[in-house]
A and B are shown apart, each in its own frame.
Chain A
């Protein structure tokens, strides 16, 4: 069927009732639009993909792909778990997730460097955190011999402190 107005292929067909008289109307898309009858050709692109992307970036940070796979070797926390729950797993996470945390700290505090009271430096504290992580692993794998050795090491180190 052809359009009543321009002889193009008619894609809009409707029945009008004028003064009780039924009349069929056949128009092509373009002529139908001109007479205010047809919806626009296709759903406009609302740019939703870009919106979603920018939401992810603003909430999760630019390095999402790379960061998502980061896991802290000491406490086994994944960066994405931190993003979901908002809590870090151990002091070491601040170093492991530094790239993700930087922009976040800047947003929350307007700064990325500590000013103020300084704690005493305890050089073996990080080592003890590592030993404890190994101890957790050993207990998890029921390697009690290793666990006992690690406990001894922690005790020895504790005696030095």
Chain B
């Protein structure tokens, strides 16, 4: 598998399967780990970073893990951006320096970043509300890697991380939710406040502040010390169903009180996406969110949810440039985006990308 092959597939987490997948786009857990004998990445020399990278790559080989490694340091900026868009690496890793990379597992369910803020950032993602399954997988993966690596760990403080906000379990348990009805009825503020009170963070699709991006919100734990992994997962599995219920109630209210208005909004959004000849990224996100809501409410019946999920990622700048095979300016991207949308949505049928 190479990067160009990645453009021809999409992550399993976009398939729209799994429990509650009309609202829960995906469940994700990441573990922060460091090798005991090296300074943290920010303090490691180039030689040390290179030794860290080779220790980890060798551990992955010895553990017989089915992973493909991308040497991010050697990748051109466009390819790094492409990996960010696919949620396989962070902006920090893309913008970093020195030896670093990411190992990607089958179906893009696994992404292991090397030499990010911590030596290892292990991530497992699955479509729908599936935190227990994700935990089982990532816990096993962590064990397999640890067979061949000495982790920095103290009995009092747990897994030691470059930033004390991650120390302890080093875990971030998150779910990505699509909450268009709560956003439209201006109730997100209320949700933010309630979640903050119980120390849960809310971020956008790409980890940005609280700015809505296609009405996707990631809810995750902030505290990592003093509570076990299952306890932290339980907080999420207790709270997320309440947010889901809240969104469902808001959707029902929209359907009962403003059905025509909503149907009109959804159909117009679909129409624009199918016919536009130039379209910005922001407008695309906004309209895709409406269409996604429309599919889930049965207002659009000739389009699969997986197609819409993929389009959130595949209308991003780097993806468009990758499939065009050349760098494009903003205007050219807007034209390429519209053309790509038309081809994927033509005649309302699900069209596989070439």
Tell me the A residues contacting B by CB distance below 8 Å.
74-75, 77, 85-91, 94-95, 101, 104-105, 108-122, 125-126, 128-129, 131-133, 136, 161
Indicate if the CB atoms of A116 and B151 lie closer than 8 Å.
no
- Is B42 at the interface (CB under 8 A from chain A)? yes
Subset of 27 A-B contacts with CB under 8 Å = A87-B40, A89-B42, A89-B43, A91-B160, A94-B157, A94-B160, A104-B164, A105-B167, A109-B224, A111-B223, A111-B227, A113-B156, A114-B154, A114-B156, A114-B168, A116-B227, A116-B231, A117-B139, A117-B159, A119-B151, A120-B146, A122-B151, A125-B37, A129-B37, A129-B38, A132-B38, A132-B39
Indicate if the CB atoms of B223 and A116 lie closer than 8 Å.
no
Q: Which residue of B lies closest to A108 (CB)?
A: B165
- Is B226 at the interface (CB under 8 A from chain A)? yes
Indicate if the CB atoms of A90 and B225 lie closer than 8 Å.
no
Chain B, 175-202, contact with A by CB distance < 8 Å: what is the 0/1 string? 0000000000000000000000001000
- Residues of A within 8 Å of B199, CB to CB, are 110
What is the CB-to-nearest-CB distance from A85 to chain B, in angstroms, rounded to a whole number?
8
- Is B1 at the interface (CB under 8 A from chain A)? no
- Residues of B within 8 Å of A112, CB to CB, are 156, 225-226
Most chain A Cβ neighbours within 10 Å, of B36, B146, B229:
B36
Given contacts A110-B223, A118-B153, A119-B146, A136 and B45 within 8 Å (CB-CB): yes
Indicate if the CB atoms of A119 and B42 lie closer than 8 Å.
no
Given contacts A94-B154, A114-B226, A109 and B117 within 8 Å (CB-CB): no
Indicate if the CB atoms of A114 and B39 lie closer than 8 Å.
no
- Residues of B within 8 Å of A91, CB to CB, are 34, 36, 40, 152, 154, 160
Indicate if the CB atoms of A117 and B228 lie closer than 8 Å.
yes
Indicate if the CB atoms of B167 and A94 lie closer than 8 Å.
yes
Chain B, 208-244, contact with A by CB distance < 8 Å: what is the 0/1 string? 0000000000000011111111010000000000000
Q: How many A-B residue contacts, CB cutoff 8 Å? A: 132
Indicate if the CB atoms of B164 and A116 lie closer than 8 Å.
no
- Residues of B within 8 Å of A133, CB to CB, are 39
In chain B between 268 and 307, which residues have their CB closer than 8 angstroms to a CB of chain A? none
- Residues of A within 8 Å of B150, CB to CB, are 120, 122, 125, 128, 161
> In the bound complex, what is the Cα–Cα distance between A122 and B37 (angstroms)?
10
- Is B169 at the interface (CB under 8 A from chain A)? yes
- B39 partner, pick from A90, A117, A122, A126, beta carbons under 8 A: A90
> In the bound complex, what is the Cα–Cα distance between A83 and B306 (angstroms)?
45
- Residues of A within 8 Å of B228, CB to CB, are 115-117
Q: Which residue of B lies closest to A88 (CB)?
A: B162
Q: Which residue of A lies closest to B51 (CB)?
A: A132
Given contacts A89-B43, A113-B156, A113-B226, A129 and B163 within 8 Å (CB-CB): no
- Residues of A within 8 Å of B229, CB to CB, are 116-117
What is the CB-to-nearest-CB distance from A77 to chain B, in angstroms, rounded to a whole number?
6
> In the bound complex, what is the Cα–Cα distance between A75 and B162 (angstroms)?
12
Given contacts A94-B157, A125-B150, A132-B38, A101 and B227 within 8 Å (CB-CB): no
Given contacts A114-B156, A116-B158, A125-B150, A88 and B164 within 8 Å (CB-CB): yes
Indicate if the CB atoms of A105 and B164 lie closer than 8 Å.
yes
Given contacts A75-B43, A88-B162, A114-B155, A128 and B227 within 8 Å (CB-CB): no
What is the CB-to-nearest-CB distance from B16 to chain A, in angstroms, rounded to a whole number?
31
- B227 partner, pick from A104, A115, A121, A126, beta carbons under 8 A: A115
Q: Which residue of B lies closest to A111 (CB)?
A: B226
Given contacts A91-B36, A122-B36, A108 and B164 within 8 Å (CB-CB): yes
